[in-house]
């Protein structure tokens, strides 16, 4: 079994792409967390003053959503690479198993 996985993960020139991928995913996660925080802030401000001008905060969320969409496009343009979020092993798009061949963790979905 291990032999099959080694063959599938043998490519070495993927390192940079994989770093880009995990970097993008981290940035997307960060933006998503910030959106949650801004959402909370909007709720708080609205509670304190329903007439408060919340457009700046709403625009902030829109900006972040745009950024996330751009980064997701970028992710998709990095050709069919899947990285195990647990151990960092990279798999190319021919690897169709749902679980990491190295540590057995569930692999992330395409998006
Ligand atoms: Zn793994």
CA distance 71 to 54: 26
Q: Is residue 3 part of a domain?
A: no
Ligand 1 center to 65 CA (angstroms): 29
Interhelix angle 15-48/55-77, rounded to 10 degrees, is: 160
Q: Tell me: the pLDDT tens digits for 7-35?
A: 555 444 556 677 788 899 999 999 999 99
pLDDT tens string 52-62: 999 999 999 99
Q: How far is the CA of 102 from the centre of ligand 1 (A)?
A: 5
Which pLDDT band holds residue 80 (cuts at 50, 70, 90)? low
Say if 88 falls within a structural domain. Answer: no
Asked if the structure places residue 55 within a domain, the reply is: yes
CA of 39 to the centre of ligand 1 (A): 34
Query: In total, how many domains does the chain have?
Result: 1
- Ligand 1 centroid to Cα of residue 95, in Å, is 13
* Global pTM value: 0.56
């Amino acid at each position: 079994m291990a032999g099959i996985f080694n063959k599938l993960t043998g490519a070495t020139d993927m390192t940079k792409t994989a770093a880009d991928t995990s970097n993008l995913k981290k940035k997307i996660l960060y933006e998503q967390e910030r959106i949650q925080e801004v959402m909370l802030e909007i709720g708080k401000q609205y509670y304190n003053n329903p007439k408060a001008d919340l457009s700046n905060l709403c625009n902030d969320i829109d900006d972040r959503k745009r950024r996330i969409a751009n980064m997701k496009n970028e992710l998709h343009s990095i050709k069919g690479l899947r990285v195990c979020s647990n151990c960092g092993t990279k798999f190319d798009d021919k690897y169709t198993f749902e679980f990491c061949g190295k540590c057995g963790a569930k692999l992330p979905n395409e998006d």
